[in-house]
Structure 1
Amino acid sequence: MKHTPLKVAISAICFVNLLYMIPSVAVSGMVAAFPDQPQNKVLLLLTLPNLTGIAGIVAEPWMERWFSRRTLSITALAVFFASGLASFVLRENLPALIAASVIMGAAYGMQAALYPLLVNDGFQGEERSQVMGLVSGMLQLGRVAATLVGGMLARRGWYNVYLCFLAVLIPLVLAVLFLPRQSHSEQLRQQDGDWFSFSETVRLAVEGFAFAALFFMVNTHLSLYVEGYGLGDTALTGLISALGCVLAGLISTGFAWFERRTGRFTMTWAFGILGVLYLAGGLWISLPGAVLCVAGAFLGMGLFSPNLMLGFSRCAGPRRLAAVTAMVLTVVNVGYFASPYITGFLAGFVGESPADVFRVAGMLGLVCAVGSAVTSCRPGVSLPAAEKEKG
């Protein structure tokens, strides 16, 4: 029970961390608001935060030289809130909106690197797995809530989606009250944390890149599948996606239970589930087939996300954990960005329809599952004795 306030604070931080994606529910209104501007320039409001998020991720280990993780978390939340509020106030000024999006993305990226570090700092053993699953689930559930609320707000004006950033005040207050006050430098002096596993880091980065590239398929091609084959409209696509996020959240929340049964082969299961269901959806072109594709993506994500965050502690001790976290998360973000180019290029050899692309991605998922299984057969990295005792 003594850790409950910390769990609540980190969960609340994760719940709002994907708010930077909220303008995606109001794209048509956003484009219509700036008719004299090129559409690609307006869409920078959606794409720039992903790019500048990498800058925030990379900056976090460097900032830890001078500031504690508590201070960085509070600062990132405050900047996140301020950028959302500025976007609402300056809604008629596109350059100002773009500048706010740049800052918003950097704050998101820093917080994305910080929350797994906060969990690793505050929890050990199976409790760490349980909490990491919980907060990973909150990321997905927060995304669903923001999408639903933002969609309703956008009916009265596209810019009203930025009012969702008022919710950031809640985790900001909780962070001030409940995040540990001990400075990160003091914490490091008390821990035997100067170790690093190159092989584990490479494996985590490669698996993260591969899964991110395959998962993002559901964002780039689901609408093309549903609407292109005449199975439904954008509302149906949004509903299926929202249900997928809920599914991922529920799986992540029970991650500790799954991890006890899958052990080192958790990523094998994640790739395998995604591969099989993508392949099935690509072969069975229908509304149930679209649902299978979404289920494959988000069931896999429910296992992948907490497994990735827990994997950082297998790669390095506390002294190097922030740097490893930043490096791997950067590679994962590149995987999201490269997804349509990788799968589109490979699908070009067999066909370019949405079903073709899902079939190719499904085959790639199964190949990755086999590769993950082979590498998982080797013993994992041996943690220092002090870390084993804590775990």
Structure 2
Amino acid sequence: MKKKQLSMAVGILSMNLLLMLATLASSAIAAIAKSFPQEPVSKVQLIGSIPQLGQIIATALFTYLTFKMTRKNLGLLAVSFVAIAGIMPAITNNSLNIILACMVLVGFGTGTITNVVPVLLQENFEGEERATVMGWASGVTNVGMMIFTALGGFLGGSNWRNLFWVYGLAFIVFLLAFFLIPQDKKLKDIGTKKEKTNYWTLFKGLNPYVYVLYIINFILSFALMAFTSNQSIVLATQGKGTAYVAGVTALGNVGGILTAAFLTYVRKFTKSNTIAWGFIAFALSFSCIAFSSNIVLHVIGNAFNGVGIVLINATAPYEMSILTDEKQFTLAVSINTLLGSLAGMVVPMILAALQIAPGYSSFIAGIIITVIAAALLLVTRFGTKVEAEQNRKTSEVVK
């Protein structure tokens, strides 16, 4: 990768450092509740979940905004929302309603970043380099989570209000994005002036394989929800406490970071079946936790979870970028993000409707569905078919 492209990648991916900031304040809910004794605890708990409202709004508006603004400017606007709204509770913190409103705006910023980063990567990178930087995106998110969680805990240890100063680091990200990302065009200015484009036209023109990627995203959301919401329950039956769960989770995070860092070499092994191998990694993560009481295997299980996230989260957007043009990709990514958010909400309901109990039973369900997903992807040779579509489009361009 050339020096110019590397600096561009730094500018774009720096925004991903901020993605986990939407839920950072949830670690201080107990302390905040003590400062607002007149407010119900359930309202204080919204601090951790209400950013999702902002994320859904951002996703719903994303395609529209890309026709009105350049993708670079939209990214800068998103980072500004995170920085300004995030730091406000450190300054104005006498009203829980204001804090909640700020968290909605932070969610709007992170939701926009979730959508704009893959679009910028599609626009500025091609081929295997695009797949590589999309893998780095997942790793950078994990790095951001580790850094900001540790820093937030340090600052907020004496007073929860100080935790919100962490959001000020978003101003540094703003500068990196401003100077390192090249300016682009609004989507409405791309193509011929005679060409009329609307959302329905873009949606109807999507390649059928894009819908398969939507299903893959739903299964990924299922696996993530089943793992993260049930691991502590499974380990509690083995006599493991909260500190133990936090410890093996933190150590396991390294698996995702290393996979993202060396994704180019990993893909040489997984080739066109990278998503299938991602689901195999998920199945192994569930198995290591459910069928062992060994701390080493528990760390490895969490590492496999990170590996699965990176392999799928890096490859699915890359394949989606192959199957769509510039205008279609913005719509495809926003729909994918929206479906992922909704999936996270309905998965617990689906498990309850199927009478699958929390804990061990949910882990077994996770193993079954991820193994089936991997098997179907391998048998149908889905990745190979996507590559064939890429070769077809390349040959058409050459002609």
Deviation of the 1:97 alpha carbon: 0.9
State which of 255, 259, 264 in structure 2 corresponds to 1:256: 264
> Among 362, 365, 379, which residue is 2:385 paired with?
379
Q: Deviations over 1:97-120 (max 9, x none)?
A: 111111111111111100001111
Unaligned runs of 5+ in 2: none
Q: Which residue of 2 aligns with 1:45?
A: 47
Kept in 2, the 8 Å contact 1:135–1:253? The answer is no
What's the counterpart of residue 132 of structure 2? 130
* Residues 187 and 327 in structure 2, CA contact (< 8 A), matched pair in contact too: no
Contact 2:273–2:378 (CA under 8 A) maintained in structure 1 = yes
Percent same amino acid at aligned positions?
A: 19
Which whole-Å CA distance do the structure 2 matches of 1:112 and 1:313 have between them?
15
8 Å contact 1:15–1:142 — kept in the other structure? yes
- C-alpha separation in 2, matches of 1:18 and 1:96: 20
Tell me how far apart the structure 2 counterparts of residues 309 and 343 of structure 1 sit (CA, whole Å): 27
Q: Which moved more, 1:65-74 or 1:21-30?
A: 21-30
CA distance in 1, matches of 2:395, 2:104: 38
Separation in structure 2 between the aligned mates of residue 48 and residue 295 of structure 1, nearest angstrom: 29
Say how many residue pairs are matched. Answer: 386
Q: Distance in 1 between matches of 2:12 and 2:307?
A: 23
TM-score by length of 2: 0.89
SS in 2 for 1:181: coil
Please give the alpha-carbon distance, in whole angstroms, between the structure 2 residues aligned to 1:178 and 1:389.
30
Secondary structure class of the residue paired with 1:189: coil
Q: Tell me which moved more, 287-296 or 170-179.
A: 287-296
Correspondence list, 1:1-391, <5 A: 1-185=3-187, 188-189=190-191, 196-232=205-241, 234-285=242-293, 287-288=295-296, 290-346=298-354, 348-349=355-356, 352=357, 354-377=359-382, 379-380=385-386, 382-383=389-390, 385=393
Q: CA deviation at 1:196?
A: 4.2
Q: Distance in 1 between matches of 2:236 and 2:189?
A: 53
Q: Please, what is the CA RMSD of the aligned residues?
A: 2.6
Partner-residue secondary structure (3-state), 1:379: helix
Stretch of structure 1 that moved more, 86-95 or 69-78: 86-95
DSSP 3-state at the match of 1:319: helix
Structure 1 runs of 4+ aligned residues shifted over 6 Å read 192-195, 387-390
Q: How big is the shift at 1:3?
A: 1.5
Distance 2:37 2:232 in 1: 25
Q: Is the 8 A contact 2:46 2:100 kept in 1?
A: yes
Question: Which blocks of at least 5 consecutive residues in structure 1 are unaligned?
Answer: none
**TM-score, with length taken from structure 1:** 0.90
1:228-284 per-position Cα deviation (integer Å, ceiling 9, x unaligned): 53223x333222222233321221222222223222311111111211331342233
Q: Deviation string for 1:340-385 (max 9, x for gaps)?
A: 3334544x35xx3522221221122212212222333562262464
Confirm or deny: 8 A CA contact 1:213 1:337 kept in the other structure. no
What is the letter of the counterpart of residue 121 of structure 2?
V
Kept after mapping to 1: 8 A contact 2:26/2:45: no
- Indicate if the aligned counterparts of 1:141 and 1:246 stay in contact, CA closer than 8 A: no
